[in-house]
Structure 1
Amino acid sequence: MVKVLVWNENRHEKQNEEVAKIYPEGIHGAIKQFLEADDVEVNTATLDEPDHGITEEKLAETDVLVWWGGHMAHHEVKDEIVNKIHEHILNGMGLVVLHSGHFSKIFKKLMGTSCDLKWREADDKERMWVVDPTHPIVDGIGEFIEIDKEEMYGEHFDIPAPDELVLVSWFEGGEVFRSGCTYRRGNGRIVYFRPGHETYPTYYHKDVQKVIQNAVRWAKPVGREYPTYGNAKPLEKIEPKS
């Protein structure tokens, strides 16, 4: 059983009627609905809950954290919560970062860069090309995913070179973007997946759902203990040197 925690700012749904109509149960509710399966157990948390709904107890029982944050309240996420999440990722918890979560404190901390990019809201058609068809996060996906209307994200995307680049987007306005990237930090696996602007029904798109389902299974902990660091006793007897 993979235990997933879906985190969402949940501010746009409260303040924008258009978003509330698209996602009446919140973006976290929509993601929870398509992630739940016989082998996946899903809980949710949102920004305005105590400790943002992310307690040490919740993190301890979470295999994969899925993170959606808009540009409205990244700064409101407490640093002490970010540090706890970071520690759990290094110890093996997976992280799937969606859309504008690229600017979240936790993703920027893991990447060590600004994670900035170009953007435009203009109902662009997006075509995400699968550039690594062998990767598990695109199992069941054809040569590309096409979305009729989405927010454009364009290069340069200020992230470290991905460990694996899986999906590259082309937009109707001519831009391209690295939309499916994986990283490893400590024992943790990280996926960044681009689509999901709040004013579009992107999370009802079956191929988008499939990638996130695959990403959760790929990012789950591998069961290896975190390495021991610091001063170490020799494994063999060291003979005095004359």
Structure 2
Amino acid sequence: MLKVTVWNEFRHEQKNERVREIYPKGIHDAIASFLKDDFEVRKATLDEESHGLTEEVLHETDVLIWWGHMAHGEVDDVIVEKVKQRVLDGMGLIVLHSGHFSKIFKTLMGTSCDLKWREVGEKERLWVVDPSHPIAEGLGEYIEIEKEEMYGEHFDIPAPDQLLFISWFEGGEVFRSGCTYQRGKGKIFYFRPGHETYPTYYHKDIQKVIKNAVQWATPTKLPKPVYGNSQPIEDIKPKN
């Protein structure tokens, strides 16, 4: 069974009563709850030792799901580097919502990952623009979310390997809300919905996307490439 680690700062839920009402055990617990029937799931949070991402945990994780917002700067650079190396070695990474500003996502993208935003609880229509992709399996033409935070273009990210979802918001903005990348042997999926003051992670289609993304981001069983100085495979004839 695939091993998934759900990482969350777990700060909003402790400081904001509204967030605590929606996610009483934390966003990470809500996500883990709908994944646990299909995957072996563990949870990790910022204030645990090594942010809950010890060498052992990372080594045993096939896919890491990341939610962060108010404490990106508190994530230890040493841990970020370890997560990055695991991605390069093949671990899948799913970055959710405000995780676009996390150290790990910015490091892997190499850009500011900045964007426009507005929080007034407007309708979001999340259009499926690549219905053939496995992450979109089982969805209709779009997902409608009654209330969400707006993210708007320009989103300062590299051109995605694949663009799966584009959001339209009630205020008129659009946003590239589902983007895939490959870094080294690892697959990365950025998925926009999931502001902490709205019950987005209880939406069945949002859950379906995240489940599909875990399956898609599963590490491949390819051998590790060999680098460095290499001896010739064939005899090399001296050149005059």
Q: TM-score range by the shorter chain?
A: over 0.9
| Offset of residue 224 of structure 1 | 1.1
Matched, 1:54 2:69: no
Cα deviation, 1:101-123, whole Å, max 9, x if unaligned, reads 00000000000000000000011
| Offset of residue 225 of structure 1 | 2.3
Cα deviation, 1:94-141, whole Å, max 9, x if unaligned, reads 000000000000000000000000000011100000000000001000
Partner of 1:106: 104
Cα deviation, 1:73-100, whole Å, max 9, x if unaligned, reads 0000000000000000000000000000
Consecutive unaligned residues in structure 1, runs of 5 or more: none
Partner of 1:165: 163
> Which amino acid in structure 1 is aligned with residue 65 of structure 2?
V
Partner of 2:192: 194
> Which amino acid in structure 1 is aligned with residue 29 of structure 2?
G
Partner of 1:140: 138
Distance 1:232 1:124 in 2: 58
| Offset of residue 36 of structure 1 | 1.2
Q: TM-score, normalised by structure 2?
A: 0.99
Write out the 4+ residue segments of structure 1 that deviate beyond 3 Å after TM superposition: none
Identity across matched positions, percent: 71
> What is the Cα-based RMSD across aligned positions, in Å?
0.6
| Offset of residue 25 of structure 1 | 1.1
| Offset of residue 229 of structure 1 | 1.2
Match of 1:80 among 78, 81, 93: 78
Distance 2:210 2:72 in 1: 22
Partner of 1:222: 220
Distance 1:119 1:82 in 2: 25
Consecutive unaligned residues in structure 2, runs of 5 or more: none
Cα deviation, 1:148-171, whole Å, max 9, x if unaligned, reads 000000000000000000000000
> Which amino acid in structure 1 is aligned with residue 28 of structure 2?
H
Cα deviation, 1:168-187, whole Å, max 9, x if unaligned, reads 00000000000000000000
Partner of 1:20: 20
Distance 1:171 1:232 in 2: 54
Distance 2:44 2:36 in 1: 15
Distance 2:225 2:130 in 1: 30
Match of 2:230 among 210, 229, 232: 232
Distance 1:35 1:178 in 2: 25
Matched residues, number: 240
| Offset of residue 226 of structure 1 | 2.5
Matched, 1:174 2:184: no
DSSP-derived class of the 1:216 partner: helix
Q: How does 1:118-137 map to 2 (within 5 A)?
A: 118-137=116-135
Q: TM-score, normalised by structure 1?
A: 0.98
Contact 1:98–1:192 at 8 Å: present in 2 too?
yes
> Which amino acid in structure 1 is aligned with residue 135 of structure 2?
I
Partner of 2:5: 5
